[in-house]
Chains A and B, each alone.
Chain A
Amino acid sequence: MLELRDVRVVFDGFHALDGVDLTVPEGELRFLIGPNGAGKTTLIDVITGLTRPAAGTVTFDGHDLVGRKEHRIVRLGVGRTFQTSVVFEELSVVENLDLAACFRRPLWSLARRRKGVSQAVEEALTRTGLEELADRSAGVLSHGQRQWLELGMLLAQRPRLLLLDEPVAGMSREERERTGELLTQIAADHTVIVVEHDMEFLRRHASKVTVLHEGKVLVEGSVEQVSADPRVQEVYLGRKPSDAVGK
């Protein structure tokens, strides 16, 4: 479904991605890990059109994504969240979700007032547990609620491939657990790539893991395989992967 071949990104002579190959088949839940600066966010940026690679190909469902505009890639069914969540603070929760759900409509049809709540929005509200806050302004949400709203907006878009950049960063323990449940639900009927540092989260939810290091794919495999790999051990300096992943 998603295929990257020899993708390279260079920032002022610095190779953020240095020949990455990645294949994610339909329906998979893939975790992307690696130390800070490994190029995980850059990889998502390349797939979603925010960063243009210096070389390499990115194909989604037979479509070449390189050079395509961001909104066109979204229209192909690729959605993402951001490491620092961005929601529209002046709009209410339900308005945020509604905008996310309406992007396939012709622009002129948006010239009417929203009446009620569409099914996609309703679903996103229930899944993220934000029903109570539906009419509150998104500006008053807590950090965790914002991340959920962002996830909800992504769901309301009904994408086929979801790219989540550190969805539990900065969350409390309970919030993490809720997000984990949500992720399991989402993964049941979507293809998902998750960037996540949190090792406990990883151990609980990951099926297949790709480890990125200095812009290259270091290893790829199951959680057990990856945590047993000495190279991964080396990369997570001092921290034994068995500590990190297996705890």
Chain B
Amino acid sequence: MEKKAVRVAYGEALVKLGEKNDKVVVLDADLAAATMTNAFKKAYPDRFYDCGIAEANMVDMAAGMSTMGLIPFCSTFAVFAGRNYDQIRNGVCYPKFNVKFGFSHAGITLGEDGGSHQAIEDLALMRVLPGMTVFVPSDANECYQCVDAAAKIDGPVYIRTARLASPVYDPRPFTVGKGTVIKDGKDCVIFTCGIMLEHTLEAVDLLSQQGIDAALVSFHTLKPFDEELAREYTAKCKKVFTVEEHSIIGGLGDTVASAVIGHGVEKFMKIGINDVFGQSGKPADLLIEYGLTGTQIADKIKNNL
């Protein structure tokens, strides 16, 4: 199966968007080669602004630029969402400015750079901001859709992307705020987001080999959240598991929990980073260390049914 890092798709999507819309400008903070905005820089050098290693200034400059009718896309590592959080909150979200954030290298699969660089909290930070749309594309094709949708939304949008190359699935219909049923099932439901789709798909396969028919639902939009779909599958399957490459505090798991509470939940388990920081290592080793491989996910589900 073709593999491509979601961040690479982000760079490509920006170039396509830039072709269609000359109001799109891109800002980066000395990480264009990593966030992949260098593709846009090459295509439209006069619409690319390097801000230097100054993430806070980048965000408020973007806020100012948006008041001139431009659509700024800011990029840096997801871990620096904490670095410029006040600027995102008060500079962009509070006045509801039209600024987009394409933050890459999220989660532990960032790998060797280690815990200081592995964002496990960005979804929690973004989800709590009024008016913010939060996207977590699961593959390259969904990332193209998220970037296109972001440009059409009048207001702040956060797009979380991953460093690691991951499978590219056939394009699926896309509506902002709607979850996607990847597989129907009756014994339990797995809710996931981002590149954990690959590992939950593997888990679903392993479970079915053991006679467990699990439904799988993926959410490219964490906010606004598709509460209806989450409730429908909770009512149907009763046993709910959430899988994310993020802290189990404040991310997908808690989003699902607040949606489905009181809707027939018999069992609820969050699978993710258990309130600890990450560390250096190869992405494959880290997935094992933090219990996020297909086999480990399947085992956790089986043992908790």
Q: Do A and B come from one complex?
A: no
A interface residues, Cβ below 8 angstroms from B: none
B interface residues, Cβ below 8 angstroms from A: none
